[in-house]
Copies of this chain bind each other. A is one copy, B any other.
Amino acid sequence: MTYTIKFLPQNNSIEVDENESLIRAAMDAGVHINASCGGTGVCGKCRVLIEEGEVGGGISEHLSSEDQALGYRLACLSTVTSDLVVRIPVESQMETSRLNQTSLSRHTAKAMFTNVDALRENGLFIPPVEKIYLELDPAGEGDNQADVARIINDLRLKHDEHRLTMGLGMIRKVPDIIRKGDFKVTATIVRPVRKDGKNRIINIEPFDTSERNFAIAVDIGTTTVYGQVLDLHTGEILAQHGEFNGQISYGEDVISRIVFAEKGDGLEVLHQKVVETINKIIEKIVKKSGIGIHEVSTITLAGNSTMTQLLLKINPTYIRKDPYVPASIMYPPFRATKIGLGLADHTIALIYPGVSSYVGGDIISGIMASGMYLSEELTLYMDIGTNAEIAIGHKDWMVCTAASAGPAFEGGGVKFGMRATKGAIEDFSINPVNFEPMIITVGNVPAKGICGSGLITLAAKLLETGVIDSRGKFNRNLSTPRIRKTDDIWEYVLVYRENTQIDRDIAITEPDLDNLIRAKGAMYSAALTLLEEIGLGVKDIEKIILAGGFGSFVDLESAITIGLLPELDPARVTYLGNGSLLGCRINCLTNSLRRNVAEVVNMMTNFELASTPSYMDHYMGALFMPHTELNYFPKVKARLEGLRK
């Protein structure tokens, strides 16, 4: 059920789902309401008048009974239960006219999602690791074929499975298992990548366990590691969880990790740390799913080349040294226990292949998840994170590159940076007259910090209202106590301590903005350089696919305003969220993907930005918001000029 809400005096309308928070609806409609507590009802500032319709809740001690009788409610405590006309109280006509023109309504990217039913209909829902129940003919007079041969022949004759092999470890267990199950067993089979490859029988269990087959997908980010448990019969995600990568204390970015790995037992330490992180996640999600660890048949992992090599305990030093050579781009399937993962003996680990030292398995995983290798439209794929990874192309060709963006998008190098968990400031608008903020936090709880998508919106809104200039410096002349200098650093106070969870004022600082500008500059200039190298321009892009932790939250107009994304109709932008994790998930569900991966990796041309002279120029030019060259952003230019008239 959706309802229409009209906000006055702006006269903006928006359709929202039933039970949406009214303050969120206002934010999405581009309507500013002063609200500094993050939408928790504490500050009492978000008073609105319900002129038509009824809301759920909205009552607070901040409202007198008279006000309540008049129809005033706190927007943050109100939920939408009918069509509404809502009036925002304003202090002056000037304010009314300015508010009227400030913000664009929010546009987040459409989500791409994995359609398991479609996979099934196309006959592609064949996981790389399957279970098959076998009712073997019992050994007896006139039939004393070997146990392993009995299993293989049964698979061959009754299940049309061929080219089967079994390793020594498994053969050792077969004689006892086959009899424990009274010749009724379940075989777990790993499919080959190539059709003429071998099907490996990795497990034999007594009796019928074929309905219990699960997989784990893991994205190993430099900062954060995410895992999911998947039911290989339904395709469903049973549980998921993320943890900071335990390597963080040894360096925030891949280069510092590599430097650490080069010393003493550094490689071993970093290997252990990421394995510990993954094991912690596995333990949690397996428990949450209510499955047994031995029921997990396979795990697919993706990470950038450094993360992959550290996971596999492969010396990463040549990744950071000219000419930047990774150990391998493809890795064979292996037993998960071989690298210390807390899974069963038989569980098979699959590693996403990469392309180069700086275009790793994570981006390939995302590209596979995006389906752009099947598309006819020229697509720009951007994986926004500590490492900016970019691919451009379509079904016939693909180029890619990577740049170091720094950790700003993931909350690193930002004074109050945090991940997009409860209490993170995720949306923001600013009153252009008195510069009071409107803040929404994840989970509508008092603020704890700023997440990546929040940071982008903050920067965009501060820029639009002239609180900062195109270099991210605060306007020192504005009359608001929120702009101040603390410890010699200029900042804007988003939430005063009494409304936070952390007993400190939460602010955004000039160094935070510097880091953001460098990050977005790296990202944009990488895309620009890549386009230039193949003789194309920004205008040729027909579609953008965003990957990265905040893909689902980032406001596209804000991202365009600060010059992170090229100007494109928001309707042509889709997001994958964590593309790497999604690619791992799809890899667990359909073996056909593994076949396609090899093709994609082979057709991918990699550009090294370090050896592309124009990159540095593009980067320098991108250290402004949106850009030094405003012709790349004609609409943003026009809008900013309009706002500042």
Contact = CB atoms under 8 A, between A and B. Distances in A.
A327 B179 CA distance: 12
A143 B332 contact: no
A496 B196 CA distance: 70
A139 to B, nearest CB: 5
A258 to B, nearest CB: 12
Interface string A314-357: 11011000011111111110100011000000000000000011
A139 B328 contact: no
A147 B318 contact: yes
B147 A327 contact: yes
Contacts of A179: 318
A393 to B, nearest CB: 20
A327 B166 CA distance: 12
Contact of A330 (B141, B148, B339): B148
A197 B356 CA distance: 28
A477 interface: no
Interface in A176-200: 176, 179, 196-198
A165 B200 CA distance: 15
A468 B328 CA distance: 75
B139 A174 contact: no
Nearest to A608: B144
Interface string A353-365: 0001100000000
A167 interface: yes
A172 B313 CA distance: 7
A238 interface: no
Interface in A294-314: 312-314
A577 to B, nearest CB: 29
A167 B332 contact: yes
A168 interface: yes
Given A176-B315, A315-B176, A325 B171 contact: no
Nearest to A163: B194
Contacts of A328: 146-149, 166, 171, 174
A327 B142 contact: no
A546 to B, nearest CB: 28
A191 to B, nearest CB: 15
A611 interface: yes
Contacts of A642: none
Nearest to A145: B325
B324 A146 contact: no
Interface in A373-426: none
A535 interface: no
Nearest to A200: B332
Contacts of A537: none
Nearest to A333: B168
A325 B197 CA distance: 29
Interface residues on A, range: 35 or more
Given A146-B328, A175-B327, A327-B147, A168 B312 contact: yes
A148 to B, nearest CB: 4
A507 B120 CA distance: 80
A140 interface: yes
A145 to B, nearest CB: 7
A469 to B, nearest CB: 40
A443 to B, nearest CB: 42
Among A328, A330, A611, find the residue whose CB has the most chain B CB atoms closer than 10 A.
A328
A215 B100 CA distance: 85
Contacts of A326: 146-147
A233 to B, nearest CB: 29
A261 to B, nearest CB: 12
Contacts of A142: 611
A581 B611 CA distance: 58
B323 A139 contact: yes
B611 A318 contact: no
A595 to B, nearest CB: 15
A468 to B, nearest CB: 40
Contacts of A144: 323-325, 356-357, 608
A15 B172 CA distance: 56
A332 B175 contact: no
Nearest to A167: B332
A334 B339 CA distance: 19
B148 A327 contact: yes
A168 B327 contact: no
Interface in A15-71: none
Contact of A165 (B141, B176, B332): B332
Interface string A129-156: 0000000000111111111110000000
A171 B312 CA distance: 9
Nearest to A144: B323
A318 B168 contact: no
Contacts of A611: 141-142
28 contacts: A139-B325, A141-B323, A144-B325, A144-B608, A146-B326, A146-B327, A146-B328, A147-B326, A147-B328, A148-B328, A148-B330, A166-B332, A167-B332, A167-B334, A168-B331, A168-B332, A171-B312, A171-B314, A171-B328, A172-B312, A172-B313, A172-B314, A172-B315, A172-B327, A175-B314, A175-B317, A175-B318, A179-B318
Given A172-B327, A179-B318, 5 more contacts: A146-B328, A148-B329, A168-B338, A174-B328, A175-B314
